[in-house]
């Protein structure tokens, strides 16, 4: 997430196809020109679930 026109990165969890999504993590704007590790612990699921990663583009060409 590097550049002045960065949007956001979101991670959601849902328990069924088409079901409601629970936001687990969100980061907006530029954070720097480096990789950053994130560990998300999901402890409340005893049945199959989906993890959705969403990248939202910012308003412009200066993002990477």
* 8 pLDDT above the threshold of 60: yes
Q: Rounded distance, CA 32 to CA 14, Å?
A: 30
The pLDDT value recorded for residue 12 is: 94
The pLDDT value recorded for residue 25 is: 94
Average pLDDT along the chain: 83
The pLDDT value recorded for residue 6 is: 82
Nearest Cα residue to 31 out of 7, 61, 56:
7
Q: Which two tokens stand for residue 37?
A: 């590790």
CA 19 to mean position of chain CA atoms: 18
- Split at pLDDT 50, 70, 90, the class of 64 is low
Average pLDDT of the residues in 43-61: 83
């Amino acid at each position: 997430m590097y550049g002045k026109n960065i949007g956001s990165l979101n991670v959601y969890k849902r328990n069924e196809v088409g079901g409601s999504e629970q936001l687990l993590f969100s980061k907006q704007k530029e954070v720097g020109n480096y990789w950053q590790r994130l560990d998300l612990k999901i402890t409340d699921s005893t049945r199959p679930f989906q993890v959705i990663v969403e990248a939202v583009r910012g308003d412009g060409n200066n993002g990477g």
